[in-house]
Amino acid sequence: MCAFYTDSMTHKRTALLALASLSLCKTASAQSILGFTPASATHEIEIENKFKSIPNADEERRQHRIFTQEPHIAGSKRNKELADYIAAEWKKQGLEDVIIHRYDVYGTNPKSASLEMIAPTHYQALLREKPLPGDDDSKNPAISGAWLGMSISGEVTAPVIYAHSGNPEDYDLLRKNGISVKGKIVLVRYSNPYSYRGFKALTAQREGAAAMLVYSDPQEDGYKKGKVDPEGPWGPEYHIQRGAITYDFMVPGDPQTPGWASVRGAKRIPIEEAVSAPKIMALPLSWHDARPLLENMDGPVAPKDWQGGLPFEYHFGGDRVKAHLKIEMDNGIQPYYVVEGRIRGSDLSDEWVVMGNHRDAWVFGGVDPSSGTASMMELTRALGELKTQGMRPRRTLIVCSWDGEEVGLTGSTEWGEQFADELRAKAVAYINVDEATSGPNFHGQAVASLAPMLEETTRSLQDPSRKTLYKVWKETVERERKEGQQSGQFNASGASNQTLADTRIGSGSDHTVFLNFIGVPVLGLGFDGDYGVYHSAYDDFYWMNHFGDPGYKYHTLMSQLWGITALRLANADLLPFDFATYASNIRQFVNDMAAETIFKNRDDFDLSAKYAKEHAADAKQVVPKSTYEIRGLDLSKVRKEIDDFEVAGKNLNESLNHRLSSGPLDPKLAATLNSGMMQVERNWLNPDGIPGRPWFKHILYGARFTYAHLELPGLTEAVEKQDWPAAKQQAEILERALHNNTQLLDELNRRLGPQ
């Protein structure tokens, strides 16, 4: 039986490919890959098989040990040593044009911090993590105490108020209970629900709090979840989640060079004028240190969803608990280093496939990011070996080790800003890996046009359980979607996705500059699992070897997957973009926006369907979202443009597949088609950016201040504010971009000629 059929039966392009495959099936070894002619696909499979055989678990473990040996925070001596190490290794491995870029940025380092409860009793917070039996790294004297990047220095003595998760609605509830946090210290917890700690800091700052303490409640990542380190993967009593509080949801990178690179001599704005620089003191706490504060609080009993995992009743707080907090920071200019290497393309060297992972870690960075860095070193070793054996990719592969991701996505942002023009002209895609491995569950992210190619790629890899990675991924996603539905989460992330790949991409890692500032399609790869030691000193080599990936099998699989995804993009005859899938995703974004807006604001919106408002709750289940309309904004033109874009995308898929199946391509035609397809993502950018955040230029993809994904950011935010003139303007920008891209696809289709 022709392998082709079984492999691609469920794929969207099946019917067309099936036709095309009639001729393919004549040769026994015929394989099909999106974007490849039959002959190129056969050749590609040979290359991939060779590639897959190179990464091995022992090497992954050896590299992982090198990166987790010592703490290596952004800007530290050790992190520079690791940059030099990577550069030297890459040269040995056969990478070309290896270079270390230096950016002089506004960095952040701790000097000292102390917290003491002065009433009703005295308690001096440890602000340190105790060593764990069996884990020698946890004894390392170089481990930092508690600190948050970009906190300001200061000193305050004030009452402590418990503000739950530190989100705006939490302060509303405190207000309703007659509690003001002005001039006080707020104690918030990390993730109930999750929101980025920088958003918590901004919210506390806006509320007029003098300082924010943020702690890890055992409910979320500790003993309430399961066994804690060193017996299990969850966070022990003393673990401290460090992190930065930079307002990089406003503008990422160096706060003093918003929108341009911090190269030597670059113009710098005063830090007081930098919108992404916080103006509040902030410190993280283990639950061990938070407990005495919480336990002694007076004031009304906090509501049920504010209660946590500690064995007492949580109160809002009043005047009873007072604390003295002092933080001294060393914030100022320091160098960050980005390592870049490449393998120049054999015949399309001016088309780039870019890959990256950050190097800086809060402490050892067992998962975050050293699992990704180890996988990257095996990826580059394998790519170098292919090159040495004469298998140079057709397009140029660029790989980067970013610095200062943890501080504000800094290294990647500065690099992206420095090379923005070149990237706009040359970049095919960016593949990001951050926390590569914290367990066995695969999650892939992709802009919608690349979702099918990512799914197809996972079919050619085997998971350690010996099923295809595709199958395991599908099972994971199906399980999670079911759990999401059961827990009653309306439109839980991905619940209405039509793809396995998560096409709703927020911020919080190094893909941001590529997608949101330059308009480069992005992919993100990661394996995850139970992980309660994030950003603590216990996220280390011991943890990885006992819980995360004891055999380093998932690290190895990551190197394979990362490489094969890159090789397919680098070697394709025609770039494997699927714009019909993009169109149907955009339609879903619009429908979800309309539906969510309606359910959030029942009184202000109507269902255009026959359903009366009082039935809206039932309607949630049964009314197709496509029938939701927002009163005050006519979306019919947007919908029509999406339909047109989808038709153009389908037509192009057909023509491309037909052309690919009929043998070698004229290089000039291929070049025209490829550069046209690369242009589509750029066309989603609005040079003015989204209202209030000009750095974020993508009109389909954005992020909330919490880092959560936010589709159609300009439009959605205007609709949520019920600012109808602004919403109309944003809808028109979307219509125009859709229209331009439809015309572009139609033009490419014409170039392909009659089929």
The Cα–Cα gap between 462 and 465 comes to 8
In the sheet that 522-528 helps form, which strands lie side by side, from edge to edge? 96-107, 332-343, 395-402, 348-358, 427-437, 522-528, 441-446
Near Zn ion by CB under 5 A: residue from 351, 434, 502, 528: 434
Least distance CB 406 / Zn ion (angstroms): 6
Least distance CB 511 / Zn ion (angstroms): 12
The Cα–Cα gap between 291 and 305 comes to 18
Residue closer to Zn ion, measured from CB, 369 or 526: 369
Residue closer to Zn ion, measured from CB, 538 or 605: 538
Question: Of the ranges 53-61, 434-442, 443-451, 498-506, which one interacts with Zn ion (CB under 5 A)?
Answer: 434-442
Least distance CB 142 / Zn ion (angstroms): 20
Tokens of 317: 């707080």
Reported residue count of the chain is 755
Does 368 bind Zn ion (CB under 5 A)? Our answer is yes
Residue closer to Zn ion, measured from CB, 242 or 381: 242
Least distance CB 426 / Zn ion (angstroms): 26
Least distance CB 365 / Zn ion (angstroms): 8
Neighbours of 755 (CB within 10 A): 11
Residue closer to Zn ion, measured from CB, 149 or 393: 149
Residue closer to Zn ion, measured from CB, 8 or 195: 195
Least distance CB 508 / Zn ion (angstroms): 8
Question: Of the ranges 32-40, 300-308, 363-371, 380-388, which one interacts with Zn ion (CB under 5 A)?
Answer: 363-371
Least distance CB 576 / Zn ion (angstroms): 28
Residue closer to Zn ion, measured from CB, 192 or 370: 370
Residue closer to Zn ion, measured from CB, 96 or 530: 530
Least distance CB 254 / Zn ion (angstroms): 18
Does 404 bind Zn ion (CB under 5 A)? Our answer is no
Is residue 734 a contact partner of residue 702, using CB atoms and an 8 Å limit?
Answer: no
- What is the total count of residues that contact Zn ion (CB under 5 A)? 3
Determine the longest span between alpha carbons in the chain, in angstroms: 83
Residue closer to Zn ion, measured from CB, 436 or 738: 436
Is residue 751 a contact partner of residue 651, using CB atoms and an 8 Å limit?
Answer: no
Give the CA-trace dihedral at 120, 125, 131, 137, to 10 degrees: 160
Residue closer to Zn ion, measured from CB, 74 or 125: 74
CB within 8 Å of 186: residues ≥ 6 apart: 160, 161, 162, 163, 166, 204, 207, 209, 211, 212, 213
Does 408 bind Zn ion (CB under 5 A)? Our answer is no
Least distance CB 237 / Zn ion (angstroms): 24
Contact pattern for Zn ion over residues 607 through 646, marking x by CB under 5 A: ----------------------------------------
The Cα–Cα gap between 658 and 21 comes to 10
Question: Of the ranges 132-140, 360-368, 639-647, 708-716, which one interacts with Zn ion (CB under 5 A)?
Answer: 360-368
Neighbours of 176 (CB within 10 A): 8
Q: At which residue do the structure tokens 């480069």 appear? A: 520
- Which residues in the 199-258 window bind Zn ion by CB under 5 A? none
- Mark 81-112 as b/e (b = at least 16 C-beta within 10 Å): ebbebbbebbeebbbeebebbbbbbbbbbbee
Least distance CB 362 / Zn ion (angstroms): 9
- What 3-state class would DSSP assign to 485? helix
Contact pattern for Zn ion over residues 310 through 349, marking x by CB under 5 A: ----------------------------------------
The helix (H) or strand (E) run that includes residue 238 is none
Tokens of 260: 């341009």
Neighbours of 309 (CB within 10 A): 16
The Cα–Cα gap between 302 and 109 comes to 35
Tokens of 520: 């480069």
Question: Of the ranges 273-281, 361-369, 601-609, 640-648, which one interacts with Zn ion (CB under 5 A)?
Answer: 361-369
Tokens of 414: 């500065």
Residue closer to Zn ion, measured from CB, 44 or 368: 368
- Which residues in the 369-388 window bind Zn ion by CB under 5 A? 369
Tokens of 352: 């780039």
Residue closer to Zn ion, measured from CB, 434 or 711: 434
Residue closer to Zn ion, measured from CB, 72 or 568: 72
Cα 578 to chain center, whole Å?
Answer: 22
Tokens of 165: 């998760």
Least distance CB 434 / Zn ion (angstroms): 4
Least distance CB 359 / Zn ion (angstroms): 10
Task: Tell me which residues touch Zn ion (CB under 5 A).
Answer: 368-369, 434
